[in-house]
Amino acid sequence: MRGHMRSVERAGLTCLLALVVAAAPASAQVLISGDWVGLFHEDQPERAPGPEVGDYLGLPINAAARQYADSWDASRLTLPEHQCRAHAVPYINRGPIRLRIWEEKDPLTQATTAMRIFLSTYAQDRTIYLDGRPHPPEYAPHTWQGFSTGAWNGSVLTVTTTHIKRGWHRRNGLPQSEQTVLTEHFYRHGNYLTHVTITDDPVFLEEPLVKTTNHILDLNTQPANYQGWLVCQADDEVPGRDPAWVPHHLPGQNPFIADFAKRHGLPFEATRGGAATMYPEYLKKVVGATR
């Protein structure tokens, strides 16, 4: 069903979180402040070198997202107005990332009013309000990291983010819409921080996209470990180009779209993504098709 995770998946995630919550003391709320470094044992090829064009594997994208990505031309990133763009919050956490997390306190009551996160990638700042404030109206501006509110559920910090700018579900042109709502769960176990993201995108996803990312506590962080970035200056990478030109492929005319399937010996259909390709039973279909 569009817009809804399969019930079994939702139930599984709920059980996982329930176990984590149950394992924590009733007093709940744990300290997640500190410097955290991403672990790259998951999806490393996508996260470091970057995804290949036409690799839509394992993402619950719909036909609109597929056409958007098929039309996308990496040369778009050479346009001055595209060069300095940050990753939006549903995607940025899978980058080569460091997190610094700290608490904002009410000076009088010493209650935690917000969690702050500084992300090394693109030097992004996040504020997660814990004071019960509402989200702004739809006509408020959208930002790369959106507007976040959170609450502690036992030892798990659950965060809801809206007002997110257009970004990617995968940085090979698969789009993430401004209507996206991101739900996150942060939970700490020892010196590890597990970050669960559930991305609901009614425009470009058939089902929510669920990811987990692990981080390890870094007690020896140096200032140089973080990216200092206050000003990004776009350059004229292709002199003489018409400033109104937008690189893209006309429908059906992207010559690179099948390269990923050929290079890895995959059925082309499987590389096209979609909710069905996320589940184990799809493997039987693929194996059957290739015999």
Partner 1 sequence: MTRGVVGILGLVVALAAGGERAGAQGSTAAVEARRVQGNVYLLHGAGANIAVQVGDLGPVLVDTGMAERADDVLAAVRGLTPKPIRYIINTHADADHIGGNERLAQSGTALQPRGVATVGAGQGLRAEIIAHELLLNRVSAPAGERAPTPIAAWPTSTFSGREKDFFFNNEGIQVIHQPAAHTDGDSIVYFRRSDVVAVGDVYGTTSYPVIDAERGGSIQGMLSSLNFLLALVISGEKTEGGTMIVPGHGRISDEADLVEYRDMVTIVRDRIQDMIGKGMTLEQVTAARPTMEYDGLYGAAPGWTAAQFVEAVYRSLHPAGLSQRR
Interface residues toward partner 1, by CB under 8 A: 63-65, 67-68, 71, 76, 79, 81-82, 84-86, 122-124, 137-144, 165-166, 175, 177-179, 202-204, 229-232, 243-246, 248, 250-251
Q: Among residues 71 and 158, whose Cβ is nearest to partner 1?
A: 71
Query: Shortest Cβ distance from residue 155 to partner 1 (Å)?
Result: 32
Say how far apart CA 88 and CA 143 lie, in whole Å: 8
Q: Among residues 23 and 232, whose Cβ is nearest to partner 1?
A: 232
Return the closest-CA partner of residue 172 out of 259, 253, 241. 259
Query: Shortest Cβ distance from residue 241 to partner 1 (Å)?
Result: 13
Q: Among residues 12 and 136, whose Cβ is nearest to partner 1?
A: 136
Query: Shortest Cβ distance from residue 71 to partner 1 (Å)?
Result: 7
- 17 φ/ψ sector (left φ>0, alpha ψ -120 to 50, else beta): alpha
Query: Shortest Cβ distance from residue 1 to partner 1 (Å)?
Result: 17
Query: Shortest Cβ distance from residue 85 to partner 1 (Å)?
Result: 5
Q: Among residues 3 and 12, whose Cβ is nearest to partner 1?
A: 3
Amino acid at site 211: K
Say how far apart CA 174 and CA 65 lie, in whole Å: 6
Say how far apart CA 233 and CA 213 lie, in whole Å: 31
Q: How many residues does the chain have?
A: 291
Q: Is 19 helix (H, G, I), strand (E, B) or coil?
A: helix
Q: Among residues 67 and 290, whose Cβ is nearest to partner 1?
A: 67
Query: Shortest Cβ distance from residue 174 to partner 1 (Å)?
Result: 11
Q: Among residues 31 and 244, whose Cβ is nearest to partner 1?
A: 244
Give the residues across from 189 on adjacent strands.
Answer: 192
Q: Is 153 helix (H, G, I), strand (E, B) or coil?
A: strand
Return the closest-CA partner of residue 156 out of 29, 289, 31. 29
Return the closest-CA partner of residue 117 out of 171, 54, 190, 36. 36
